[in-house]
Structure 1
């Protein structure tokens, strides 16, 4: 009889390792913000060597820190940042949802909300276009800021020193034939964004897709997110750009107001005001 001997496996599946790490992180609480390795071993009921290995990994990536004087562990800055991002984006999504739904209803176009992270924008909410064509940028998509309407809105808020830090090289990596190619061109376009009050992107990240973007502010006036309206590039005339750019700016103003920001120069307090503005703008279109 032929017997095949199986080699013992010393590997651990990624999912199993992740679950063990999560179980260790869940040991920390408001009542017990600091724990020694013996405390963690007792709580998770796993071998000390396993716990030590996982703790070392969590330390290395900043999810935990170790107190020098006691040797005990506590939640690290990386985990705090993730938690803070959750709180911020949860507030933004709640404030933005009725506005993005209305803009999508009025225009039929894709509406996106994003946050800024180290030179990139991360899409955190999207209302799909009501047209048959669907854009590829789903929630969780990451785009370089210089190649997107929302990104340019974010970048327009930065100083020259901050821009130099983000883009030390003059050449910017292209995503399409129409992506901004240099830092000098980017700075010139950001001047227009500041002057106009909203950004414009013409097929900078996706062939056939153009759009407008505007920042959203929190109660302190700090930029918390950005919103965009994306359209087919062939429909993006100068007139439509101005109409959608203004609508997007009004919508972002209302979201900012719902987050607690008071702007005496842009007083929009309700969805009805946005709907009325859009109806009036439609009447003024040349026949």
Structure 2
């Protein structure tokens, strides 16, 4: 950003947005803790919180106690996600995948340290995995998130790890090493897997969608109840999902990408308890 561009920035708005982004990393904040996390003068922080509270974006969990963001942000996220051009462009591909496998199909993008579902087509099964459009979930434990990280640039990945460690005290060096190890595997095979790491009883397979410059722009995934994952069906999913992602990538004129995917071996791992 040039000096001229910075001249037009509203510092008060910049501070307010920083407070919102910080608050989004936890479900509630004591004023003192939030003040320390944001390094903003207490008086300024209180005015920001009061303004957000008056507008319905923040509420006090208990009078004079902790503050929390309201679901008004979730509503805005849903509206933005529902207008995503990605979803409209890829709708035929997503519908075809859903018809071929009859499982819930998700289109997701990375936002901060989370993946956000921007479009979804549910299965016709009574037992199904469905999410509200705009739903977010931790990227590092989800199939879609692992794929997005694997095909992000080195700088983007470093920034992600930095933000993750700052927002999640449970992330230690061992977990970071595990993330990098899984990323290396995904870069080779072209898919990411979630073995009930996000939702118990649900396993997920995800593949990347690229644009004309070879940059990842989204992931296509299927969320499947583990009870329906036999060897044959797992093999079908491992063929259909990468095929759908490749077809979606061609819509954006992406260069052809070849991966070394051992369908039989991975199908075997998917059906293991």
**TM-score range relative to shorter protein:** 0.5 to 0.7
Identify the residue that residue 79 of structure 1 maps to in structure 2: none
Q: 1:122 aligns with which of 95, 116, 126?
A: 116
Is the CA contact 1:92–1:259 (under 8 Å) kept in the aligned structure 2? no
Q: Quick check: 2:194–2:205 contact (8 Å CA) kept in 1?
A: yes
Counterparts of 1:1-287 in structure 2 under 5 Å?
A: 61=16, 90-158=84-152, 159=154, 161-168=158-165, 171-172=170-171, 182-237=175-230, 239-263=232-256, 265=258
**Aligned alpha-carbon RMSD (Å):** 3.4
The Cα shift of 1:191 comes to 2.0
The structure that has the greater radius of gyration is 1
CA 1:86/1:246 → structure 2, altered by over 3 Å: closer, same or farther? same
Cα offset, 1:238, TM superposition: 5.2
Deviation at 1:184, TM superposition (A): 2.4
Other structure's SS at 1:182 match: helix
Please give the TM-score of this superposition, normalised by the length of structure 1: 0.56
Measure, in 2, the Cα distance between the counterparts of 1:264 and 1:116. 21
| Separation (CA, whole Å) in 2 of partners of 1:149 and 1:264 | 19
Instruction: Flag the 1:188–1:243 CA change in 2: closer, same or farther, 3 A.
Output: farther
Q: Encode CA deviations 1:56-98: one digit per residue, 9 max, x unaligned.
A: 9757546xxxxxxxxxxxxxxxxxxx9xx969x7331122100
In the TM superposition, residue 163 of structure 1 has moved relative to its aligned partner by 4.9
Structure 2 spans left out of the alignment, 5+ residues: 1-9, 18-75, 260-273
Note the alpha carbon deviations across 1:187-224, whole angstroms, 9 max, x for none: 22222211211011111111111110011112222111
State how far apart, in whole Å, the 2-side matches of 1:239 and 1:162 are: 39
Aligned positions, number: 186
**Number of the residue aligned with 1:37:** none
Q: Which 4+ runs in 1 deviate beyond 6 A?
A: none
Q: TM-score, normalised by structure 2?
A: 0.59
Q: Is the 8 A contact 1:213 1:245 kept in 2?
A: no
Do the aligned residues in 2 keep the contact of 1:171 with 1:183 (CA within 8 Å)? Answer: no
Aligned counterparts of 1:265 and 1:141: Cα–Cα separation in 2: 31
Q: CA–CA distance in 2 between the matches of 1:184 and 1:241?
A: 28
**Consecutive unaligned residues in structure 1, runs of 5 or more:** 1-54, 63-81, 174-180, 267-287
